[in-house]
């Protein structure tokens, strides 16, 4: 059965060099004792990376293809890893996004049956980012925009960034909303990466970012927007009834909440898709399956941060029909113009 991996990450040598050159956060540094690469998100906020992972992210050739083949993955949808260019100086980020998209396009031309990709954009200059998205889609045949849960102190619901969303809707391409290091202070202190990072903080902030988007009314203004989330929806399928609470309880004072055309859960069910990346827990999958329907679930492995063999073993162990597997593995991707 064909398989399209909707979440797979990469980097370029130019991007790595810029990450090491950054004077501000986030930046790459090397540990003085071990020489291991790390991301410094702040003075006391460090994420381990390591050269093994760096090399896997840089590999856009035979090594990556061998791992894909061993896992039964036919195609990867490639996206620049966190922190992307979202937090860089606007001029540097805009130029680096363009160069990264050009480099990704060349890789796709070399392996057209194995790779497609999402554009990197520098949202600090929204109009330039919207124009770059148009170029990436129209000229480079990239399939959408991969962005992150925060832009430093700002979130995506800030209307400053809405020109990018408007362009995405006009182009009819999806936005992959990926976690990043959280801005929420209480997630960044005391307990390190176990609280702030992928185990907890990433998903919590991404879910909040999604709720801010929904409550902002952006899906009333741009009803054709399509947003993709990893990790079976960052916990939101579990909360769909609760997020509707102030809109359905008869005694609730409606003047105290944002005025929307639909209930919050309606936007989640109509405008969002989720991938299987990094959440291999049967009760979580069952909840997402029942809350959203199989038509909105996409295969995602989060390579190279996760082992794609583990992802496939989990999915193969679920009690799914042949039709459901086909939808998750490759048929649903055709809704985004991605086919093999």
Q: Which of 79, 113, 100, 83 is nearest to 277 (CA)?
A: 79
Please count the other Cβ atoms lying within 10 Å of the Cβ belonging to residue 54: 17
* Per-residue buried b or exposed e for 195-216, using 16+ beta carbons within 10 Å of the residue's own CB: bbbbeebbbbbbbbbbbebbbb
Give me the half-sphere count of Cα atoms (radius 13 Å) on the Cβ side of residue 123: 26
Q: Is 139 labeled as catalytic in the residue annotation?
A: no
Burial of 318 (0-12, 13-18, 19+ CB in 10 A): middle
Long-range contacts of 163-166 (CB under 8 A, 24+ apart): 163/126, 163/127, 163/129, 163/130, 164/121, 164/123, 164/126, 164/129, 164/130, 164/133, 165/218, 165/222, 165/225, 166/130, 166/222
Which of 35, 302, 307, 324 is catalytic? The answer is 302
Long-range contacts of 212-215 (CB under 8 A, 24+ apart): 212/155, 212/156, 212/157, 213/156, 213/157, 214/243, 214/260, 214/264, 214/267, 214/268, 215/157, 215/257, 215/258, 215/260, 215/264
User: Residue 187 in contact with residue 205, Cβ under 8 Å?
Assistant: yes
| Token pair listed for 220 | 């009333």
Dihedral of the alpha carbons of 249, 254, 258, 259, in degrees to the nearest 10: 100
CA distances from 274 to 6, 75, 188 (A): 10, 18, 26
Catalytic residues: 302
């Amino acid at each position: 059965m064909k398989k399209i991996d909707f979440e797979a990450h990469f980097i370029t040598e130019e991007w790595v060099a810029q990450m090491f050159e950054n004077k501000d956060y986030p930046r790459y540094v090397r540990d003085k004792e071990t020489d291991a690469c790390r991301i410094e998100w702040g003075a006391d906020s460090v994420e381990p990376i390591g050269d093994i992972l760096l090399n896997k992210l840089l590999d856009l050739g035979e090594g990556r293809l061998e791992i894909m083949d061993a896992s039964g993955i036919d195609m990867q949808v490639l996206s620049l890893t966190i922190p992307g260019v979202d937090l860089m100086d606007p001029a540097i980020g805009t130029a680096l996004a363009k160069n990264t998209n050009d480099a990704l396009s060349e890789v796709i031309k070399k392996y057209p049956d194995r790779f497609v990709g999402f554009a990197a954009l520098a949202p600090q200059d929204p109009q330039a980012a919207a124009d770059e998205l148009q170029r990436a889609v129209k000229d480079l045949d990239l399939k959408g925009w991969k962005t992150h849960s925060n832009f430093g102190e700002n979130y995506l619901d800030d209307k400053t960034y809405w020109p990018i969303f408007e362009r995405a809707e006009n182009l009819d391409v999806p936005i992959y909303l990926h976690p990043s290091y959280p801005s929420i202070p209480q997630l960044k202190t005391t307990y390190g990466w176990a609280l702030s990072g992928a185990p907890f903080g990433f998903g919590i902030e991404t879910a909040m970012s999604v709720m801010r988007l929904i409550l902002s009314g952006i899906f009333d203004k741009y009803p054709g927007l399509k947003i993709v989330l990893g990790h079976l929806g960052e916990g939101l399928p579990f909360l769909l009834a609760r997020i509707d609470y102030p809109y359905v309880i008869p005694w609730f004072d409606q003047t105290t909440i944002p005025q929307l055309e639909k209930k919050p859960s309606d936007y989640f069910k109509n405008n969002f898709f989720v991938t299987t990346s990094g959440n291999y827990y049967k009760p979580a999958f069952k909840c997402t399956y029942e809350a959203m329907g199989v038509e909105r679930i996409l295969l995602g492995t989060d390579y190279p941060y996760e082992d794609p063999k583990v992802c496939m073993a989990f999915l193969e162990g679920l009690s799914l029909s042949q039709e459901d597997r086909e939808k998750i593995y490759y048929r649903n991707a055709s809704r985004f113009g991605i086919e093999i």
